Amino acid sequence: MTRRHGPTARRRLLCWTVALCAVLTGSGCPLAATLVATVTAADGTPVPQVVIHAMPVSGKLPATPPKAAQMDQVDKEFVPFVQPVQMGAAVTFPNKDNIRHHVYSFSPAKTFELKLYSGTSAKPVVFDKPGPVTLGCNIHDWMVGHLYVVEGPWFTKTGKDGKGGIDLPAGEYLVKVWHPWMKDEPAPVRIKAEAAGDLATAFRIALTPPPAITHDKR
């Protein structure tokens, strides 16, 4: 958990950066607005681990280099359960268990296979197509992890409170949410980010957990 950046901390950091920038320069820096999306289930409970992704309506994406990401295997589970990554990102799959894992994906966005290994695999996997990538372990059937490959840098994942915030430059965006158990993808929400204006939007999604596949976690 220590390695994960909480949205609040991140937002706070952003605010400080923007404020410093404004004080130091006084002008010129593109204005940034913070989008806070709240995801709740049908009964109003907040849903964590939901990917929130904002796509500029213009389709213009900054040439921000994708950040590397990693999907750990801890105690025979993929950690985190859902991991959004920017298209083109190189993801490493460090094995924190003292047994071997055989991570694979048959997802259309990225089909790969990391044959039996321990520790960190030799080469990170680069995800160059957008879309969900379901990760499995050929040895442990119950191990399921999800990478969600998105275009552009504007994405985040809801926390326990079901909220996720994205700092957006001014402009118009289509905001989408994704969760592996989501049955129907809600329609994208169009928002307009303006300078120094906070945005809020809310999504209501229905999740259908997969049938419990009984496997002893051994």
Partner 1 sequence: MKIHSLRARIIVFFVMLLVTVQAVLFVLVSVSGRRVAEQVIGDELVTGERIFERLVVQSTNRLADAARLLASDFGFRTAVATHDVATIASALANHGRRIDASVVMLASLDGGLIADTLWGSTTRDPVFPLPSMLDTARASGRASGIVLLDGRPYQVVVVPVLAPTPIAWVAMGFAIDDRTAADLQSVAALEVSFLSRTADGRWTLHASTLPPQIRGRLASRRGELEGMSRLSSMTLVDEEYQTLVPVLGESPEGRVVALLQRSKREALEPFDRVRAILSGLGLASLVFTVLGSVIIARGISRPVSRLAEAARGIRDGDYTQKVKVETQDEIGGLADSFNHMLDGIVGRESKILRLAYEDSLTGLPNRARFREAVRDGLVTARRTSGALSVLILDLDRFKAINDSLGHPAGDEVLRIVACRLRETIAEDDMVARLGGDEFAILLHGGVGEHVKEVTERIFARLREPIDLDGQPVDVGASIGIAYHPTHGDDPDLLMLRADVAMYDAKRGHAGCATYDVRNEDGRRHHLSLLGELRRAVERDELSVHYQPKLDLRTGGIHHAEALVRWIHPERGFVSPGEFIPFAEQTGYIRELTRWVVARVIRQVDEWRARGLEVRVSVNISTRDLMSDDLVPEVERAMARGGTPPGLLCFEVTESGVMEDPARALATLDRIHALGIRLSVDDFGTGYSSLAYLKKLPVQELKIDRSFVMHMADDANDATLVRTTIELGHNLGLEVVAEGIEDEPSLALLKAFGCDQVQGYLIAKPMPADRFEAWMLERTATATLSPALPDLSSPRTRLSA
Stretch that binds partner 1, among 22-30, 92-100, 194-202, 207-215 (CB under 8 A): 207-215
Q: Is the peptide bond before 80 cis (omega within 30 degrees of 0)?
A: yes
Smallest gap from Cβ 73 to partner 1, in A, equals 13
Contacts with 164 (C-beta within 8 Å, 6 or more apart), sequence order = 7, 36, 37, 39, 50, 52, 156, 157, 158
Residues, the chain, total?
218
- List the interface residues with partner 1, window 84-143 (CB under 8 A): 104, 106, 111, 134-138, 141-143
Site for partner 1 in 168-197 (CB under 8 A): 180
Task: Give the residue carrying structure tokens 């320069």.
Answer: 25
Q: Which of 213, 216, 217, 218 binds partner 1 (CB under 8 A)?
A: 213
Assigned token pair, 71: 């999907």
Nearer to partner 1, 98 or 214 (CB): 214
Considering only 42, 212, 216, 218, the residue that binds partner 1 (CB under 8 A) is 212
Min. distance of Cβ 141 from partner 1 in angstroms?
A: 6
Q: Examine residue 44 and tell whether it contacts partner 1 (CB under 8 A).
A: no
Residue 104, CA distances (Å) to 23, 59, 139, 179 in order: 49, 32, 10, 20
Q: Please state, in angstroms and rounded to a whole number, the distance separating the CA atoms of residues 87 and 92.
A: 14
In whole angstroms, how close is the CB of 81 to partner 1 at the nearest point? Answer: 12
Pairwise CA distance, residues 56 & 175, whole Å: 9
Residues near partner 1 (CB under 8 A) are 104, 106, 111, 134-138, 141-144, 180, 210-214
